[in-house]
Amino acid sequence: MPIVSARLRQILTGEGERTAGQRVKIVRLQQKLRELTDRNESLELQVNILRRRLNEQEEPRAASPRRPATSLTDADRRRRRITKQVEQMRAEILSLQAENLQLKAQSLNENKASTRARELQHRCDRQAEELESLRRRLAYAEAAVSEEKHARNEQGNSVTAQLTEYRAALDAARKTEKQARKFAIHVLSLYKITV
């Protein structure tokens, strides 16, 4: 029983540590998820600003097609640079969204693991209570057996004492009978009476 109890305490401690570790991991994942969401929103805002700037750059060019070549070249450079930035932002947003989904799935798995750990903890608690109940019942049964054994021993001792008394009384009676016979024979011999 002590070995089972020690093993059960060890299991409970291990499950508690695993549950605590999973909770910490879930909190970290949720925090990272919030950070990524905030960053995603910030990037989308930046993309919208860049698109607006790109549109502002393209509108004057469409309105006045006869501008100097140098001005057009500068505008093209700016447009290409902004377009490249927009594409980079889009790629980063897609990457963040994919990571966001992955973290959500991971967080869901961690929540399932945490739920499973709580179920195991509850089950271990029930088993510990059942073990304690069985231990109490065993102690009660052992006490009852010990008491019954003690009562039987006392009864046996009493019977043994009575037998000893009966034997002593029987021996005394036999001795008395033997002495009485000797006395009778002696008396008869004195009076020369034959039996």
Looking at residue 194, the DSSP 8-state letter turns out to be -
So what's the pLDDT on residue 20?
66
Range with lowest mean pLDDT among 16-30, 111-125, 180-194: 16-30
The token pair at 180 is 């009485």
CA distance 39 to 128: 48
Within its chain, how far is the Cα of 20 from the centroid? 11
Give per-residue pLDDT as tens, 150-184: 888 888 888 888 888 888 888 888 888 888 888 77
| Domain covering 2-162 in this structure, CATH number | 1.10.287
Within its chain, how far is the Cα of 172 from the centroid? 75
pLDDT at 72 over 70: no
So what's the pLDDT on residue 16?
59
The answer to whether the beta carbons of residues 57 and 82 sit under 8 Å apart is yes
CA distance 99 to 105: 10
* Torsion angle, alpha carbons of 96, 102, 103, 106, to 10: -170
Give per-residue pLDDT as tens, 30-66: 777 677 777 777 777 777 777 777 777 666 555 555 5
So what's the pLDDT on residue 69?
46
pLDDT at 85 over 60: yes
Sign of CA pseudo-dihedral 71, 72, 73, 78: positive
